[in-house]
Amino acid sequence: MGLLSFFQKLLGGGPSIAGGSPHSKSGNGKGDMQLACAECKKTFVFEHGEQRFYEQRGLTPPKRCTNCRRKRGRRRR
Q: Which residues bind Zn ion (CB under 5 A)?
A: 37, 39-40, 65, 68
For residue 43, give the nearest of 53, 28, 54 by alpha carbon.
28
Quickly count: other Cβ atoms within 10 Å of residue 65's Cβ.
21
Residue 17 vs 40, nearer CB to Zn ion: 40
**Closer residue to Zn ion (CB): 46 or 65:** 65
Nearest distance, CB of residue 23 and Zn ion, angstroms = 23
For the chain, give the longest Cα–Cα distance.
57
Least CB distance to Zn ion at residue 31 (A): 22
